[in-house]
Every structure is written in structure tokens, then in C-alpha cells.
Amino acid sequence: MRVIIIGCTPLAKKVINLVENIATIVGVINLHPSLGVMKSNYDTLSDFNSRRPKDFLMTKDINDDDTCEWIKKRKCDMIIQCGWSQIFNKRIINTPKLFCIGFHPSPLPIGRGAAVLNWKMIKNDGSKSIDWGNSMFIMDEKTDTGDILDFEPIIIQERDDIKTCFFKVDKSSIKMLKRTLPKIESKSFKKTKQKKLKATRFYKRKPSDGLFHFNWNAGKILNYIRALTSPYPGAFFIWESFDNHSIIVWKASLGKVNSTPFDIPGMILRIEDGKGIQVLVGDNETIWIEFVSDENGLECWADEWAREEFFSVGDII
């Protein structure tokens, strides 16, 4: 099969490495770096570009005339899209001899839309693990609505953050391609229609969606932090006593329940070298803030930040 791969994330690199061994890659399209810098999970795919520059294209718009013509000239049987946020128009969808394949990190039709893994972790109801999954589907002109070709279950564990979740999605995507590409070539694959009545949707995140408050319970705060840590912009709180600066928390963990029920959420209970800052939160719980970006945007251990700012037990952050 003649395959074009369209992607701009680490998954695209893994897909290239797999497909080169089982099909013929006739082109790879990546997002132009001027737009890629605004993506949290961008990969330049420089390895493929350096080996096969004539088969590599950077584009700002997957649907513009030049890009569509570049794709058309390669006479591909299939397009594999992985980690691309622009919606394909009808010209792109109809170009391959067979179809365009897409991946979506949810058990479609549940969880259509944007920032799916982030929102799923944030909205966790408190259970220690989440039964979830990754879907491989045939793309159409709408988003995440096409027939399902394959599905691989994923469990989002309490120890996972957004980075390890993406590792699981990437691994499951490769598993599905290994299973399904030979079936497509032999015409033995099956398609399953999505059940529209079961569809749910997540929506694009805004920067303000990363704000958390210390009067929330510990589980909710920790979900925000692990769902928005690197490579995403991070969950943050507002340091009101220092000109309302935003302090990003990259890493935190659950602390022991506070024995004094009359303190104020956001109060520092302990500062421990090598561990961080223990802070009171809602429901009389505590968390350990371990790694932050300070008011100047500089990353550092939370206990070092506390010492530099001359914090004391009893201060409110």
C-alpha cells in the first residue's frame, strides 16, 4: 500500500517507524514550526526529513491548494493522520484510493472533541483508575464521527500524568496499526458504525481552565496538576499576596489529613527540605507541592522556592 502520514506529534514518528516496515510511505506532512511552537506535544519529525526531504512537506494549512496538490500527486492508497488538530476538508478525505485513518484517545463515540485526556483526568470522580481507550476510525468531514476500524483499551491509573497517558495512547495506536493494516491490505477488515445516541464531547481548553483553588479537595487539585503538567502549560494558583502572580505547580502528592480543623485553605503546614511544601486544602485535607514555576516563570523545587521567599509555617499562599 502507498501511504501518506500526516502528523506533528511523537506518535507520528512512531507511526513512520512502523509503517516503513510494512507498507510504502510516499509522503509525510508536518505542521510548520511557526504553528508547531503553539502545540504542547509538537515533534518536527526531523529524522524522516533528513533522510527523505523530497517526500516531506511542512504546511500551515492542511487544506490549502498547494498541500492538496502535493497529496494528490503521490497517488496514495491511504492517509494515516496522527496528532493533527486541523479538520480535513472533503478534498483531502476523498484523495486516497481507500480512506483516511485517524486516532482518537477515547472509546468513541464517547469522548469526541478536544483535550480529551486532559478533561478525562480532570473530571475523574475520585476512582483510582479509569477504564478508557483509544479508537482507530475512518475519517469523514465531521470530527470523530467515522466508522470504527479498531479499538484498544487503556487504563488511566492513579500514578499516571498526562505525559504517561500519551505514552499509553501511542503504544495502543501502534498495536492497532499492526493488527489492522494487514487486514486492510487483504480486504478482510471490518467497520463498525458509531452509535450517535451514546456520543459525548469534550471542548477545547482555555488558559483559564488551568486555575485551581486551595479550597477544593485534594483529589480534585491533584487531578488538575497531573492532567496539565508538562508538556502542557501546567495547573496554577494565584499568589494573591504577591501581586496576584500565577504559580504553576508541575508536581504534587497527597498529604496526611490535617488534625486542626480551623485553619485556612492555602495555609503552609510544613516546609521540608527535599520534599516540598505541605499545604492545607479543602475538606481538611493536605497536599505536598513538590515542583513549581515561580513568579518569574523559573522552574524549581517547591521547598527551595519557599526558602527563597522566606515562607514560614502559617503563611497563606
**Tens-of-pLDDT digits for all 317 residues of the chain?**
999 999 999 999 999 999 999 999 999 999 999 999 888 789 999 999 999 999 999 999 999 999 999 999 999 999 999 989 899 999 999 999 999 999 999 999 999 999 999 999 998 876 678 999 999 999 998 999 999 999 999 999 999 999 999 999 999 999 999 999 999 999 999 999 999 999 999 998 888 899 999 999 999 999 999 999 998 999 999 987 777 899 999 999 999 887 777 789 999 999 999 999 999 999 999 999 999 999 889 999 999 999 999 999 999 99
Q: Is 317 part of any domain?
A: no
Q: For position 135, what pLDDT does the model report?
A: 98
> What pLDDT is stored for residue 169 in this prediction?
97
Residues making up the chain, counted from first to last: 317
Q: Same domain for 197 and 220? A: no
265 within a domain of the structure (yes/no): yes
Q: Based on the fold, state whether residues 214 and 193 are members of the same structural domain.
A: no
H-type alpha helices, 194-271? 218-228
What cell numbers appear for 163 in the block? 505525559
* Residue 216 sits in the same domain as residue 192: no
Q: Last residue of some domain: 182, 202, 222? A: 202
Q: In the listed set 151, 169, 202, which residue is the last one of a domain according to the structure?
A: 202
pLDDT at 205: 87
3-state secondary structure 101-169: EEEECCCCCCCEECCHHHHHHHCCCCCCEEEEEEEEEECCCCCCCCCEEEEEEEEEECCCCHHHHHHHH
If asked whether residues 222 and 197 sit together in one domain, one would say: no
pLDDT of residue 4: 98
**Are 175 and 156 contained in the same domain?**
yes
Q: What is the CATH number of the domain that holds 183?
A: 3.40.50.170
DSSP 8-state secondary structure symbol assigned to residue 211: B
- Is residue 131 within 8 A of residue 218, CB to CB? The reply is no
Q: Which three cell numbers stand for residue 250?
A: 508541575
Burial of 311 (0-12, 13-18, 19+ CB in 10 A): middle
User: Is the pTM value of this prediction over 0.85?
Assistant: yes
What is the structure's pLDDT at 278? Answer: 97
With CA atoms as reference, report the closest residue to 81 among 11, 25, 20.
11
Instruction: Evaluate whether residue 106 is within a structural domain.
Output: yes
Cα torsion angle, 104, 109, 112, 118, sign: negative
Q: Is the peptide bond before 109 cis (omega within 30 degrees of 0)?
A: yes
235 and 195 belong to one structural domain: no
- Same domain for 106 and 133? yes
Q: 92 and 131, same structural domain?
A: yes
- Are both 134 and 215 inside the same structural domain? no
Q: Does 313 fall in a domain?
A: no
Distance in angstroms (rounded) separating the CA atoms of residues 23 and 185: 9
Domain hosting 303: range is 207-308
Residues 244 and 297 in one domain: yes
Domain-embedded: residue 157: yes
Count other Cβ atoms within 10 Å, centred on residue 63: 14
Q: How far is CA 25 from the centre of its chain?
A: 26
Q: Which residues of 6-42 are buried (b: 16+ CB within 10 A; e: fewer)?
A: bbbbbbbbbbbebbeeebebbbbbbbeeebbeeeeeb
Q: Which residues make Cβ contacts (< 8 Å) with residue 84, sequence separation at least 6?
A: 6, 7, 8, 31, 62
Q: Which of 97, 36, 103, 91 is nearest to 64 (CA)?
A: 91
Pairing mode, strands 245-254 and 235-239: antiparallel
196 and 213 assigned to the same domain: no
Q: What pLDDT score does 147 carry?
A: 97
- 138 has which bridge partners? 101
User: Is residue 18 domain-shared with residue 98, that is, in the same domain?
Assistant: yes
Considering its fold, how many domains does the chain have in total?
2
314, part of any domain? no
